Amino acid sequence: MGPVTATPPPPPAFPPPSLEVSGLAFAYPDGHQALFGVDFSVARGERVALLGPNGAGKTTLMLHLNGILTGGTGTVRVAGLPVGREHMAEIRRRVGIVFQDPDDQLFMSTVREDVAFGPAAAVLRGAELEERVGRALGLVGMAGFEDRPPHHLSYGQRRRVAVATVLVMVMEPEILVLDEPSSNLDPASRRELADILRSLDVTVLMVTHDLPYALELCPRALILSDGVIAADGPTADLLADDALMRAHRLELPFGFDPRSVAATPDRP
């Protein structure tokens, strides 16, 4: 009997990217072509900024990530699952979108009711619902505000509650998509939101015109221009490329030099 050869173990299975977009093109019913073939991927745990001038297609792209818009060509995959009717419930569990205006997501009489609305509609009840609402509010620093009417909160507080309405549905989201998260926030609220986003163990895609905020929070950036990805690289490098910025109508605030800003380390 010859020697026994051990079967080598299978190679380690690496998880798929949180987000893969391949050849995505889309035209609206009026014939306006918004996307012309978008390609990029985002690894699990990355924080990536999506930059671009008005009309570049950023909102159209964002609305494809959980199936709000469909019907174009190309593919979008979330954790390996194609965005489509077959997997739509799971995709929407894994992808949370926080829109620019928190008042678009808050419409109930109290913070608790707003945060509980989604899971209650999904037939979650009792102690489990209360635990999930409390956990989501704790993650965004709004524990203790459960009985406050949302319209009595500051804009920054409403933005945090809007984030909680997404987290409460997914709790372990694959990706959090933020549309202009720093808009209309005062400096303290910007910092508080940045601290919250750093603390979440989640992939982040941040759609923003706020270039310093993108640099602060996102090590990597994509520039979407005329419906295609025009640049993809370290945020500091893209923002320091004057010719690239001019070509895509992106402007830094007066006196802001991205080369002089040290990267802000993540906080535990």
Total length of the chain = 268
The residue ranges of every structural domain in the chain are 19-104+173-252
Paired residues of 27 in beta bridges:
33
Instruction: State pTM to two decimals.
Output: 0.85
- For 154-163, what is the mean pLDDT? 93
- CA 142-184-105 angle, 5° bins: 55
Tell me which of 56-60, 90-94, 221-225 is least confident. 90-94
Q: What is the mean pLDDT of the chain?
A: 89
* Topology given in CATH for the domain delimited by 19-104+173-252: Rossmann fold (3.40.50)
Say what the pLDDT of residue 129 is.
87
Q: Is the pLDDT of residue 10 over 80?
A: no
Residue 129, φ and ψ in degrees, nearest 5 = -65, -45
| Better-scored residue on pLDDT, 171 or 62 | 62
Say what the pLDDT of residue 62 is.
95
Six-digit token pair at 241?
């490329």
Confidence of residue 267 (pLDDT cuts 50, 70, 90): very low
- Report the share of the chain in percent with pLDDT over 90: 66
Say what the pLDDT of residue 114 is.
92
- Report the share of the chain in percent with pLDDT over 70: 90
Q: What is the pLDDT of residues 104-131, one digit of tens each?
A: 889 999 999 999 988 877 667 888 889 9
Q: What is the pLDDT of residues 71-107, one digit of tens each?
A: 899 999 999 999 988 989 888 888 989 998 999 889 9
CA distance 252 to 221: 15
Q: Is the pLDDT of residue 254 over 50?
A: yes
Q: Biggest alpha carbon distance in the chain?
A: 82
Six-digit token pair at 49?
């900024």
